[in-house]
Structure 1
Amino acid sequence: MRQGYVYILASKRNGTLYTGVTSDLAHRLYEHQNNLTPGFTSKYGTKTLVWFETHDLITDAISREKTIKKWPRKWKLDLIETMNPDWADIAHYLL
C-alpha cells in the first residue's frame, strides 16, 4: 500500500477552505496551484497549503479526509491554527 496525505488549502486567512487527499502531495499541489484540474480549487482560489497530515496507508488518509470534511468549519480552523497559527504557505516543507 501507498502512503497518503490529507491536506487543507485556503484562499486566505479564514477564507475558503478545501480539504483533499492524495498519495503525492507535491504533485497534487502543483496541479492545484497551476489550475490544471478544473473544479473547486480553481473556482475559489484555494491554493495555499495551510495544513497537512501524513498517513502510512492511503486508506487511512481517505478515512481521515472524510471525517474532516464532516467537521464544522470552526474545528477545521482550530486544526489549522494548532499547526500553523500564521496561516503561512507550508508547501516548502514538501521540498
Structure 2
Amino acid sequence: MLNRSEGFHTYYIYTITNKYRTAFYIGVTNNLKLRLFQHKENVEARNKTYASNSKYNIEFLVYYEKFTWIHDAISREKELKKWRKDKKMALIKDFNPSFEFLDYQFG
C-alpha cells in the first residue's frame, strides 16, 4: 500500500513575483529549486517561453504549497489561477505576512 506521507513524491505549487510585488505567476513543479533557477535565468521549460515572466522580471518566491500527488497539485494550481488578485494576495499574506522573498529556503 502506498504511503501518502511526504517523501514518496513531492510536488509544489508556487507563486513568484517581481521585486515590486506587482505581478504574479503561479506554477507547479516537482523540483522547486530548479524551477526557481529557471525563472531567474529566463530558461525555457518544456519548450514554453515565459515572455511575461521576463517582461516583468517575475522571479521571487513568495508562496508555496507541498503535495504528494501531482493531480492534487495541478488541481490546486488551476484553482488559484482562477482567483482574483486580491484573494491571491490575502492567501500569500496569510502564509507570508511580511511578504518576504522565500527563495533562500530553496537555495
Cα deviations across residues 25-64 of structure 1 (Å, max 9, x unaligned)? 1000000011112312112211110000000111110100
Name the TM-score, length of structure 2 as normaliser: 0.81
Q: Which has the higher helix share?
A: 1
TM-superposed CA distance for 1:86, in Å, is 1.8
- Deviation, 1:2, is 3.4
Aligned-residue RMSD, C-alpha: 1.5
Distance 2:18 2:27 in 1: 14
Per the normalisation by structure 1, the TM-score is 0.90
Please, which runs of 5 or more residues in structure 2 have no aligned partner? Answer: 1-7
**Following the alignment from structure 1 to structure 2, what is the Cα–Cα distance between the partners of residues 26 and 56?**
17
- Identical aligned pairs, as a percentage? 36
Query: What letter matches 1:65 in structure 2?
Result: E
Unaligned runs of 5+ in 1: none
Aligned to 1:36: 43
Matches for 1:5-84 after TM superposition, within 5 Å: 5-37=12-44, 38-39=49-50, 40-84=52-96
Q: Residue 62 of structure 2 aligns to a residue in which SS?
A: strand
Contact 1:19 1:69 in 2 (8 A): yes
- Which of 4, 11, 32 is the matching residue for 1:4? 11
Between the aligned partners of 1:69 and 1:59, the Cα distance in structure 2 is 15
Which digits, 9 at most, give the CA deviation of each residue in 1:56-75, with x for residues without a partner?
Answer: 11111010000000011111
Structure 1 stretches of 4+ moved >6 Å = none
